[in-house]
Structure 1
Amino acid sequence: MTSQIKMLYRNRQTLVAKVKNYWVKGVLKKSLYNQVLIELGLEERTDAITNPLSEILEVGDDLRQPLPERTKVIDIFDKIGTVITLLILGDPGSGKTTTLLELTRDLIVRNEKYRNQLIPVVFNLSSWKNKKQTIADWLVEELGNKYDIPKKIGQAWVSQQQLLPLLDGLDEVKAKYRDHCILALNQFQQDYDANLVVCSRIKDYQALSNRLNFQKAVYIRLLSLEQIYHYLDSLGNDLIGLRKLIAEDTVLQELAQSPLMLNIMTLAYQGVAVEDLPKTKAVEERRKQLFDAYIEKMFKRRKTNQQYNDAQVKHWLIWMAQRMVEESQTVFLIEKMQPYLLRNRKQKQIYGLMVGLMFGLMVGLMVGLIIGPMAMLMLGLMFGLMFGLMLGLMGGSKEEIKTVEILQVNWKKILINLLMVGLMGGLMGGLMEGLTEGLMRGLMFGLVVGLIRGLMVGLESSEIETKTSPNQGIWKSARNAITVWLMYGLIGGLMFGLMAGLTEGLTESLMAALMGGLMFGLVGGLMFGLIFGLRNGGIACIQHFSLRLVLYRNNYIPWNYARFLDYAADRIFLQKVGGGYIFIHRMLMEHFAEMKSEN
């Protein structure tokens, strides 16, 4: 096996491992659906798709065709043919995402056995927000953002049809873009003859004017009363009250048809007598009561290690859910918080001023240290603060926070710039000031400028979104900023000081010139190193700290956000996935988003 083939195989296995760890181990195995061990029924829905062969295929009047019991999505998938396009539909809480992830799990098992299989990769369509962006470009972008796949490799995989995109959340695309998204999916499938699986809530899909040109569409049937009663009976006497109420309450029967809602009922109403259970004839009101009861039950189950009061927890989760719904977010990452979370002009101004002042303070301090005396230090600080104040007032609150987690030093670019600019500077100096001394001065000056330019273009950074610990991106950005500051400051300073000393030593005492040049070079190098450090992670840290402080002062978040999110996950409101957090279900997130805070 050649090294190139080994590398291609290793890249494939790396992506498969990431999908498995992130979605199968991180989400599927921890899902609430694993608590409801009921076989979900499937039916084929020919009315949901535009079949390209409809002119020669005769479709019967019955557009809903129940599939045999114990039919799995993988069974339907295998029967479609060489080019596979499948649409999975269902009601809220019916198990659509779980079904998609079960298909992912089964496909990964095959991929681990056979190398010629397509790579199954889960994407969430909620991040598709630009109707002018093709699905191919979006997939490459998401491979980079979610799975840390270099753009060149991602483009090759998409163009060579080596991926099997499993697309969840068509209904989570912003409503004004959904029809455009369907057109883009159809165009992508036609252009690339691609295999695709798409998942959506059925009512949101039926409300659209366009349809997917797919070969198969399946609908996840709701649970029957027989399945519901059998499941409740299997759990013991603690749910007798719930079973009696379901038997006489048609609204509760309707809700219990959803596996998610049935599981929420068993958690919220366990051990509650029938006369104590709330009664209502409105489905939405009953759903609201059910989620409220679940929230209170989860608080009571985990009274030990109570670090926050219940009202405060709800307040922070309400704010978080509202922001996630507004931005069509699925996974919440602390380091991905952006200035758009600030709700009014005053908050944005305070944030902008904080960023500008901290930046100006650091720059002013370094300028003052270079100039020298105490008076100059104070002058440098004042200059820096004024500069930072102007920067903040000019729109510092609009800048996106971009973490810098991976740094690669391209020594080839640095060397090329060093030699090219250095030689050009030497030649020009020799022509202008004389062949010997001018050549030496020009060469020294050119090498310094070449080094600075080389350091600017030779440091390459990238952003990775698949996190393993909370706020990982900011901590790595801070570490990289300090590393760049010291490394570039010392290297650039020593080289600049050495060249300046040698140049001055042509006319004065060599030792004195070298000492003076090195001292000046180190201070100046640390100044330039600070600029490089701020450019490669430092600014992101300043922005993030300022944003967190403003949000904290307005009681939108606690100061130790990661500890709070872990606390909420321990109470089964959230689920930890890598370094991010998701609500245990989109319906619970929507419920929190509709709640009003008590404080």
Structure 2
Amino acid sequence: MRIRGNGLLRVVVLVVTLSLTLVLLPIAINVGTGGTAPAFLAQYVDWTWPVIGLLWLVAILTGLWEFRSRRTVGHSARSADQPRNRPNALARIDRYLADRVAGSLASRTRLALALDERPEAVIPPYDLLVQPLASSVTEIREDADIATAFEDLQDSVLILGAPGAGKTTLLLDLARSLAARAHSEPEHPIPVLVDLAGWSGSTARHDDDDPDDSALLAGFVRWFLDELSSRYQIPVAVGRVWLRKGRLGLLLDGVDEIAGAQRGKLAPVLEELQHRYLIGQLAVTCRIQDYERLPQPLRLYGAVRIRPLSRRQVLDYFASAGQELAGARAAIEQDDDLWDLVDSPLMLNVMALAYRGRDARDIAAGAVADHRRELFDTYVSEVLARYRSTGRQYDSRSAVRSLWCLAWWTRTRAGDRIAVPRRLTPNGWYGLVLPPVGYLAHMVCLPALFAGLVGGATLATAALYGVPAGLAVGAYGLLLVHVRPRTWWVLQDRQNQPRLLLTAVMLCTGAVAGLASVMIGAGLVSLLPAWLGLALGAAAVGASYGLELILSTTNGRRLLLGVRLALVTVLGWLVFTRSESPGKFVACLAVGLIVAQGIRLVKALPMDHRVYPHSADESQDGPRATWRMDPWVLGGVLVGLLTAVILGARISPEPEAVLGVLVGGIAAKAWRRRAPLFAGGPSRILHGLLLRWSGYLPWRRGPFLRYAADRYVLARSGRSEYAFIHLLVRDHLADCDPDALAAKVDRRIAERARRRG
């Protein structure tokens, strides 16, 4: 019903739009050729063409939406049993798995990982699709690989292991084995590997959900089908049919990467999934420690744990590598502490890449924790120091800072995951306090934005309504900059940052914003009848004050707001009724409100990433912080006035305009500590710009992620998707000192250059 209702609504909008256009178009043509409009439309004749343009735009957008909806419905209605669907899906799955394996460290070290059975870790399901013939529980065969173990455990298994043990590697191996079988056996399920990190545990329902599914299962199925669509280009409608008919094998990687509060939902959702759908194959991976903290074990047929590497496996691998790893082998034989590190394929790969071709003396002696830090530092230094002829190159400082920023974000703000966010600043950068960024924000951007905004508004007002009105805007703008909250701070440590170009950019941005907002706001208000403009302004001010009265917690503040509102109402009405140019008064009142809200917005910008105590304004740096803004704002006002005079602005005062600006300034509540609702977006944009400006993020996401993947710090996990090669690598980068690590990379580059020379 909802889909039909939306379609009906679009048809009604289209019909009404076309009907109004057919009525207004002859009138507009008649007026344009010298005729007259009907009497009831005479005062609105100037709006005819803009309204027609808007109606045409609505009609075009509605038609395009209807066309797109029909195409989507037609595409979704394709039969899931078309002969080409299965081979096309398998071909895309093969490419995806090949890319994942090629981009991982596991492609460099192929070791036979031993498995231990852990039947107590799961609850055997009571309605398996395929039941064993014997009454006893099937055990995995000795020295079985993952595909054999999966078959022995009735295609329903949990894979457990320590960090770096090779869980994802085993799941990739299993996926490739099952895909090969699916190619040769048409009835065999198609294996689809999906990372659980993207599941949010949503319980929102959509129209296309199965009504018999619970809200939790409906959200999981919808997320799963979206993953199939984006990763393997399997249409959602086709994927839903295949899932219902048991034609998909589900390989779910990384229970530990689900947001902590949502992990407990996985067991019930998988249990319901196996009740409601034909799930013939299911494999799940998780770190041992995280799995033991789950409130409920998973309902699967069996579980396996990956054994740590044995000394014999490590020594055999070093021996097979020959002289390139002779130094690493000698070091590990001489230092027993290193055996505590190199017990997993990840650490073996890290050590192999870090110390390939190097002397054993390069491995520093010390505690195990020191070994680990040194090993990862050496690994990062080694892989970043190696030159690659393909792709864009980055200097060490920018590369390490960007990797540190990404690692910090994915661990702290993105739900403790290894996948790099699609957008580098998805939800703001709260908590990431960096001195260079703070310096640029508070000592460069804020003064320049204040100066540009007030100066641009002064110029526009003086050009439209005379120099006295522009002077009134500049004066009360300077006053509002002083009004609390004052969110800036004087930073005594002057950072070595490029400031001139950034200052010019911020000045221009503020000036354009101030000039454009005043010109557009005053222009739109002047097009309206004076009484209508005043009514709209009164409604906006009244709604704002009413909301503030509701949210205020003290009677004293409510009284102050009431008195202020009464004063604004009386002044506005007296000036409006006795003015010879009420339209000019209303337009300048709008200018006052616009400038005040612009100053509030600029004040709110640094709050997005830097928090100060409430007593900051009373500290010894408070007055000096305020004073630093005055020369900037005063300079902007003077430049704006001088430019307006040069352009021919009127010098004689216009009382209506000046009074309008003053009433608008009194009406505005620029002292409120609550930031405007729309301040979050500009604040994130500004902070993202400063992170890039100071070298903590790359300007272009794609080339840098490809650069990091080419150096085995990141791995490609999907189309335009990347993740850190492992949790331990991410944590090491998040905890490191990026500048110190960059210095190590530079030293390693210099060493390699000397050896080549």
TM-score, length of structure 2 as denominator length = 0.50
User: Is the Cα contact below 8 Å between 2:194 and 2:227 reproduced in 1?
Assistant: no
Among residues 190, 207, 213, which one is paired with 1:119 in the alignment? Answer: 190
Where 2:738 maps in the other structure, the secondary structure is: coil
Structure-1 residue corresponding to 2:370: 285
Change (3 A) 1:112 1:555: same
Structure-1 residue corresponding to 2:253: 168
Structure-2 residue corresponding to 1:37: 110
Offset of 1:364 from its aligned partner? 9.1
Paired with 1:251 and 1:234, the residues of 2 have a C-alpha distance of: 23
Structure-1 residue corresponding to 2:121: 48
Long gaps (5+) in structure 2: 1-76, 128-133, 204-214, 454-505, 528-583, 609-680, 741-757
Could you tell me which amino acid in structure 2 is paired with residue 43 of structure 1?
Answer: D
**Matches for 1:69-468 after TM superposition, within 5 Å:** 69=143, 71-81=144-154, 84-130=155-201, 132=203, 134-145=216-227, 147-148=229-230, 151-192=236-277, 194=279, 195-282=281-368, 284-302=369-387, 307-326=393-412, 327-328=414-415, 329-335=417-423, 337-341=425-429, 343=431, 389=598
Paired with 1:45 and 1:31, the residues of 2 have a C-alpha distance of: 27
User: Is the Cα contact below 8 Å between 1:552 and 1:559 reproduced in 2?
Assistant: yes
Where 2:286 maps in the other structure, the secondary structure is: strand
Structure-2 residue corresponding to 1:530: none
Where 1:598 maps in the other structure, the secondary structure is: helix
Offset of 1:242 from its aligned partner? 1.8
User: Is the Cα contact below 8 Å between 2:193 and 2:251 reproduced in 1?
Assistant: yes
Describe the superposition over 1:170-193 as per-residue Cα deviations: whole angstroms up to 9, x where unpaired: 111233332332233233223435
Structure-1 residue corresponding to 2:702: 562
Where 2:124 maps in the other structure, the secondary structure is: coil
Paired with 1:102 and 1:138, the residues of 2 have a C-alpha distance of: 25
User: Is the Cα contact below 8 Å between 2:244 and 2:278 reproduced in 1?
Assistant: no
Describe the superposition over 1:493-522 as per-residue Cα deviations: whole angstroms up to 9, x where unpaired: xxxxxxxxxxxxxxxxxxxxxxxxxxxxxx
Change (3 A) 1:334 1:215: closer
User: Is the counterpart of residue 582 in structure 1 residue 667 in structure 2?
Assistant: no
Change (3 A) 1:144 1:324: same
User: Is the Cα contact below 8 Å between 1:26 and 1:578 reproduced in 2?
Assistant: no
156-165 vs 319-328, greater mean Cα deviation: 156-165
Structure ID, larger Rg: 2
Long gaps (5+) in structure 1: 400-540
Describe the superposition over 1:126-172 as per-residue Cα deviations: whole angstroms up to 9, x where unpaired: 22333756245223224225624555444444344332221100111
Could you tell me which amino acid in structure 2 is paired with residue 340 of structure 1?
Answer: G
Paired with 1:222 and 1:344, the residues of 2 have a C-alpha distance of: 36
User: Is the Cα contact below 8 Å between 1:131 and 1:180 reproduced in 2?
Assistant: no
Paired with 1:356 and 1:172, the residues of 2 have a C-alpha distance of: 42
Offset of 1:397 from its aligned partner? 12
What percent of counterpart residues are identical?
Answer: 28
Change (3 A) 1:168 1:145: closer
Change (3 A) 1:26 1:547: farther
Change (3 A) 1:294 1:545: same
Describe the superposition over 1:93-114 as per-residue Cα deviations: whole angstroms up to 9, x where unpaired: 1211011011111222233333
Change (3 A) 1:302 1:367: same
Offset of 1:387 from its aligned partner? 11
Describe the superposition over 1:521-552 as per-residue Cα deviations: whole angstroms up to 9, x where unpaired: xxxxxxxxxxxxxxxxxxxx999976742542
Where 1:268 maps in the other structure, the secondary structure is: helix
Structure-2 residue corresponding to 1:593: 734
Could you tell me which amino acid in structure 1 is paired with residue 735 of structure 2?
Answer: E
Paired with 1:190 and 1:356, the residues of 2 have a C-alpha distance of: 60
Offset of 1:322 from its aligned partner? 1.3
Offset of 1:293 from its aligned partner? 0.9
Paired with 1:111 and 1:118, the residues of 2 have a C-alpha distance of: 6
550-559 vs 260-269, greater mean Cα deviation: 550-559
User: Is the Cα contact below 8 Å between 1:88 and 1:96 reproduced in 2?
Assistant: yes
User: Is the Cα contact below 8 Å between 2:94 and 2:179 reproduced in 1?
Assistant: yes
Describe the superposition over 1:56-78 as per-residue Cα deviations: whole angstroms up to 9, x where unpaired: 97779xxxx88423x22222223
Offset of 1:333 from its aligned partner? 4.9
Could you tell me which amino acid in structure 2 is paired with residue 263 of structure 1?
Answer: N
Paired with 2:171 and 2:87, the residues of 1 have a C-alpha distance of: 21
Change (3 A) 1:79 1:93: same
Change (3 A) 1:396 1:301: closer
Could you tell me which amino acid in structure 1 is paired with residue 706 of structure 2?
Answer: D
Paired with 1:274 and 1:360, the residues of 2 have a C-alpha distance of: 64
Offset of 1:382 from its aligned partner? 7.3
User: Is the Cα contact below 8 Å between 2:407 and 2:731 reproduced in 1?
Assistant: yes
User: Is the Cα contact below 8 Å between 2:714 and 2:725 reproduced in 1?
Assistant: yes
User: Is the Cα contact below 8 Å between 1:548 and 1:559 reproduced in 2?
Assistant: no
User: Is the Cα contact below 8 Å between 1:362 and 1:384 reproduced in 2?
Assistant: no
Describe the superposition over 1:180-207 as per-residue Cα deviations: whole angstroms up to 9, x where unpaired: 3223323322343533210111222123
Offset of 1:274 from its aligned partner? 2.6
Change (3 A) 1:389 1:77: same
Offset of 1:301 from its aligned partner? 2.2
User: Is the Cα contact below 8 Å between 2:181 and 2:188 reproduced in 1?
Assistant: yes
Could you tell me which amino acid in structure 1 is paired with residue 187 of structure 2?
Answer: N
Where 2:201 maps in the other structure, the secondary structure is: coil
Paired with 1:317 and 1:159, the residues of 2 have a C-alpha distance of: 42
Where 2:407 maps in the other structure, the secondary structure is: helix
User: Is the Cα contact below 8 Å between 1:95 and 1:220 reproduced in 2?
Assistant: yes
User: Is the Cα contact below 8 Å between 2:418 and 2:730 reproduced in 1?
Assistant: no
**Higher RCO (C-alpha under 8 Å, 6+ residues apart):** 2
Change (3 A) 1:212 1:29: same
Paired with 2:606 and 2:191, the residues of 1 have a C-alpha distance of: 39
Offset of 1:279 from its aligned partner? 2.0
User: Is the Cα contact below 8 Å between 1:169 and 1:199 reproduced in 2?
Assistant: yes
User: Is the Cα contact below 8 Å between 2:383 and 2:711 reproduced in 1?
Assistant: yes
User: Is the Cα contact below 8 Å between 2:191 and 2:251 reproduced in 1?
Assistant: yes
Could you tell me which amino acid in structure 2 is paired with residue 593 of structure 1?
Answer: A
Offset of 1:251 from its aligned partner? 2.6
Paired with 1:365 and 1:142, the residues of 2 have a C-alpha distance of: 50
